[in-house]
C-alpha cells in the first residue's frame, strides 16, 4: 500500500490535546510535551507531522510557534503547520520556526487575495490548502463558522491557481473514530485527479487507513486513534516498515 500516515499533534497552551468535531469544550490533554510525542512518532518511522496551533486558530494569529521550533529543531520530521495563520508575518514566523509547509484554510475563504499571494510567493509545495467541510460546505475559523462555498468546487478553484496539496477534513467525522469520508475523497479525486489529497478525520483503526489507500488517497492524517491506542505505536512501526 502506498498511502502514508501523517500523525497529528494539536496544541493548546503548549500541550498535546485532541478535540472532538472541532469543539473546544471537548478538549482532552494527552501529553504535556509535544516534543516527546513527536520523537515517539519519529522513532516509529514516521517522516511527516501535522502540527495544529488551536490557540492560533481561535486567536487569528500564530501562537504556539515555540512548539513548532522545538519539534523542527530536535527531530527530522517534515512538519506542516496550521492554525490561525492570517498574515505575511504569521507565515514568516512559521517558516523561520521550522515549518516545511503551512496550511491555510479560513484565509483562503475570507482573504483569497492574501492566500493567492502566498501561493505566488512560496509555491504550491509549501502552501497547503485546508478544505475542511461540514455537510459539503467549507467551514472556517477553527470550524466555528460555515461558509457558503461547496468544498469540491472550492478545491478545484484553488488547484487552478496553483494549489498542489490539500488537507480535507469532514468535521462530522473528526475525533469520532467511526471511519473517514471515503466517498467525499473519491469525489475530490474524481474532480481534481492531479491534486495531492491528504485525508483527515474519522480514522479509528488500520482498516480505515487501508480503505483510504484503496480509494487512491496518498496520505492520511491520524490523531485521536493513536492517542486512544486504537492504532498503536507498534502498528505505526510495522506499517512504516512495510511501506
What pLDDT digit, counting tens, does each position of 20-31 carry? Answer: 777 888 889 999
pLDDT at 24: 86
**88 catalytically annotated:** no
Q: What is the pLDDT of residues 192-232, one digit of tens each?
A: 999 999 999 999 999 999 999 999 999 999 999 999 999 99
Q: How far is CA 49 from CA 9, 79, 80, 155, 232, in A?
A: 8, 5, 6, 22, 16
Q: Are 65 and 25 in contact (CB under 8 A)?
A: no
**Which among 52, 48, 102 is positioned nearest to 76, based on CA atoms?**
48
Q: What is the pLDDT of residues 109-127, one digit of tens each?
A: 989 999 999 999 999 999 9
Supply 43's cell numbers. 522513532
Q: The whole model's pTM is what? A: 0.93
The single-letter DSSP state of residue 230 is S
The percent of residues above 90 in pLDDT, for the chain, comes to 79
**Which among 217, 157, 183, 176 is positioned nearest to 1, based on CA atoms?**
217
pLDDT at 143: 53
Q: What is the pLDDT of residues 73-109, one digit of tens each?
A: 999 999 999 998 999 999 999 999 999 999 998 899 9
Q: Of these residues, 10, 53, 55, 170, which one is catalytic?
A: 10
pLDDT at 146: 67
CATH class entry, domain 4-242: alpha beta
Q: Strand 48-53 relative to strand 133-134: parallel, antiparallel, unpaired?
A: unpaired
CA angle, corner 111, sides to 109 and 114, nearest 5?
125
Tell whether the model's pLDDT for residue 42 goes beyond 80: yes
pLDDT at 214: 97
**132 catalytically annotated:** yes
Q: Of these residues, 53, 90, 132, 174, which one is catalytic?
A: 132
Amino acid at each position: 500500500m502506498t498511502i502514508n500516515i501523517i500523525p497529528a499533534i494539536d496544541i493548546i497552551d503548549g500541550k498535546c490535546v485532541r478535540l472532538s468535531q472541532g469543539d473546544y469544550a471537548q478538549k482532552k490533554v494527552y501529553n504535556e510535551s509535544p516534543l516527546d510525542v513527536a520523537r515517539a512518532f519519529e522513532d516509529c518511522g514516521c517522516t511527516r507531522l501535522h502540527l495544529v496551533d488551536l490557540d492560533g486558530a481561535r486567536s487569528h494569529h500564530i501562537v504556539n510557534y515555540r512548539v513548532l521550533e522545538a519539534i523542527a529543531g530536535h527531530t527530522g520530521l517534515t512538519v506542516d503547520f496550521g492554525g490561525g495563520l492570517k498574515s505575511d508575518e504569521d507565515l514568516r514566523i512559521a517558516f523561520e520556526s521550522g515549518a516545511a509547509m503551512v496550511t491555510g484554510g479560513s484565509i483562503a475563504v475570507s482573504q483569497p487575495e492574501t492566500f493567492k499571494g502566498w501561493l505566488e510567493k512560496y509555491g504550491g509545495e509549501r502552501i497547503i490548502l485546508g478544505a475542511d467541510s461540514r455537510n459539503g460546505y467549507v467551514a472556517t475559523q477553527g470550524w466555528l463558522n460555515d461558509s457558503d462555498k461547496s468544498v469540491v468546487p472550492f478545491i478545484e478553484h484553488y488547484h487552478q491557481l496553483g494549489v498542489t496539496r490539500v488537507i480535507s477534513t469532514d468535521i462530522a467525522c473528526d475525533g469520532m473514530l467511526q471511519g473517514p469520508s471515503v466517498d467525499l475523497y473519491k469525489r475530490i479525486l474524481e474532480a481534481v485527479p492531479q491534486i495531492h489529497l491528504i485525508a483527515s478525520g474519522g480514522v479509528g483503526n488500520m482498516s480505515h487507513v487501508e480503505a483510504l489507500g484503496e480509494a487512491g488517497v496518498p496520505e492520511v492524517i491520524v490523531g485521536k486513534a493513536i492517542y486512544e491506542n486504537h492504532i498503536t505505536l507498534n502498528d505505526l512501526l510495522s506499517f512504516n516498515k512495510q511501506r
